[in-house]
Structure 1
């Protein structure tokens, strides 16, 4: 019988004694693999979903107030910006105030706003899954505004009041109907507090009505109050912003609000390294402890083996046994890690903010990383058993058998 066969037979015979080590290493490996898998998915989603998201590639261009030499943000300006190098699209925003009349007699002041795909609000309640683009006569408002809860009005037609221009400094109220098809988290205020999204035609019609300008010529004369220039890649954003600013327009980028992103990614990597270190320490200490105890308990067996002619290196089958135990523990840990990661991912997907960063039902590290971690688990357990096995192998047959 060779050393490997003997070690395998011993592992089977001593499986109850080895249960503690297998459980320790398996649980440690499962926790680390599950956490590393989620961290890897989060990092990947951050790299591809956040860094290259349209929001992170967007540049906000405001009206050039106080700059008479710079054209307003008309449709001609939007077309000019769209021709700049590395620009993917230009999305416009127009806003106009209107009132919502509630059943209690309250009037809530909101701002009808055109929707920009690059900056979609976080909808919390809606009448259908895909709200945008909105249909004429539809509104998506904040869930609460000016102390009034609007979420219970979703799906209903509500009374709205707009303003029609009469003469300079004077207007008259115009009542109408609109259907509230959704509400969003009111803490999201990239389009200012009280923004209520509506179809482009609706917003332009209300804005032209308020200004006294014909609807057909509104976007070519008065224009929009803001444009969003979307670069082709995140790396193109600085160059595109510089081109926009050279044209005389005030421009800022959302990338400036994500400066902490590299630190977050580095934290994810650090957590993974710490977890890997914890796994190594637990496996090493467990192997040293269990192998030392087994070598003391099996001193008589070692003495008999040496007495019948086994060489010292053959007695080091204890290391082979621990390597087999480490392999079994690593495989069990991989299965448990997959289950743990899947459960944690399912919980995280319950949060609208975290769901985009946890894709896949079984979030495990990449195949090379997984194989490397499993191999390191086996190696660390085997190395941890080396010192106790060497001490046992160095015993003389007389000392090993004196109590037999």
Structure 2
């Protein structure tokens, strides 16, 4: 019988005494693996989906207020910016306030906003799957605004009131109808609070009415409230930002807001790293304790092995191999439990609209390299922890080992 076979037989015979160590190490490994799996998947989503997303490649261009020498954000400005190097597209935003008249007699003031594909709101309820681009007469509003639940009106025709310019500082209300085709999560406020998306033609029509400017000349005179310039790659964003700023326009990149993971996922990442250290400590202390205790209880067995010709190195190898097998079993059980724990936690995180894009897939595991390193580290720490007590037991003479040590 070789050393490995003997060690395997001993582990089977001592499985009840080894259960505590296996449970301790496997649970610690599972918690560590689950946290690392979520953090790794979130980091992968950030690298693949977020860093090169259109939002992360976008530069917001505001109106040049206080800069009389810089043209407004007109159609000509859009064409000029589109010709800059490394530009993929230029998307516009116009806003104008309007009122929604409810059956209860309330008036909810919203801001009709043109839709930009770079910043799609998180729609929670809609009349059809693909809402955008919107058709004339359609509106997508926040699910709740100013204490009024607008989600109950999805699919209905609603009364709206816009303003028509009369003279300086004076306007008159104009009542019309629109269909509420969807609502979005009101916590999403990148287009300002109470933004309601409408077809470009409707927004420009209402904005022209409010300003007193003819509708057909509005975009060439007053222009848009904001432009979003989308760079071809995330690496092009700094250069694009400087190019826009050199033209005299205030320009701010969204990239800085998207470089980091959400706070919850950052916390999970830190927890995973802390648990990795805890796993190492638990595995080491558990191996030292269990190996020492078993060596004392198996003193006579070790004495017999030494008496029949086993060398110190052979006994040491047997004891360490036993702990290596225990560590391997604990690591494998921990991997299975870690998948279950990580997937359960991932399912909870997917319930959040902000976190769902970062936690995709049902089986959450870190990369294969990280997984193998974690499993190997678990076994290695258990082996290192068993070395000192195993060496002391292996060095005993047959006579001393046969005593009640």
Using the size of structure 1 for normalisation, the TM-score is: 0.93
RMSD: 2.3
Paired position in structure 2 for 1:395: 396
Question: Residues 359 and 179 (structure 1 numbering): CA distance in 2 closer, same or farther, change over 3 Å?
Answer: same
SS at match of 1:88: strand
1:67 Cα offset (Å): 2.5
1:219 Cα offset (Å): 1.8
Paired position in structure 2 for 1:122: 122
Paired position in structure 1 for 2:179: 179
Distance 2:262 2:182 in 1: 34
Paired position in structure 2 for 1:241: 241
Residues 159-198 of structure 1 aligned to structure 2 (within 5 Å): 159-198=159-198
Paired position in structure 2 for 1:360: 361
Instruction: Map Cα deviations across residues 345-381 of structure 1 (whole Å, 9 max, x no partner).
Output: 1111111111111112111111111111111111111
SS at match of 2:88: strand
Distance 2:378 2:231 in 1: 45
Distance 1:161 1:269 in 2: 49
Paired position in structure 1 for 2:113: 113
Using the size of structure 2 for normalisation, the TM-score is: 0.93
Is the counterpart of residue 9 in structure 1 residue 12 in structure 2? no
Question: Residues 35 and 397 (structure 1 numbering): CA distance in 2 closer, same or farther, change over 3 Å?
Answer: same
Distance 2:75 2:64 in 1: 15
Is the counterpart of residue 203 in structure 1 residue 203 in structure 2? yes
Distance 1:262 1:172 in 2: 45
Distance 2:289 2:264 in 1: 38
Instruction: Map Cα deviations across residues 33-92 of structure 1 (whole Å, 9 max, x no partner).
Output: 111111111122223333333222221111222333222211121111011111111110
**Contact kept in structure 2, 1:43 and 1:268, CA below 8 Å:** no
Question: Residues 10 and 72 (structure 1 numbering): CA distance in 2 closer, same or farther, change over 3 Å?
Answer: same
Distance 1:330 1:255 in 2: 40
Aligned residues: 404
SS at match of 2:141: strand
Paired position in structure 1 for 2:33: 33
Paired position in structure 2 for 1:228: 228
**Contact kept in structure 2, 1:319 and 1:382, CA below 8 Å:** yes
1:215 Cα offset (Å): 3.1
Is the counterpart of residue 374 in structure 1 residue 375 in structure 2? yes
Distance 1:261 1:304 in 2: 59
Instruction: Map Cα deviations across residues 2-50 of structure 1 (whole Å, 9 max, x no partner).
Output: 1111111111111111111111111111111111111111122223333
Instruction: Map Cα deviations across residues 119-175 of structure 1 (whole Å, 9 max, x no partner).
Output: 222333333343222222111112333333322222211001123344555443322
**Contact kept in structure 2, 1:87 and 1:232, CA below 8 Å:** yes
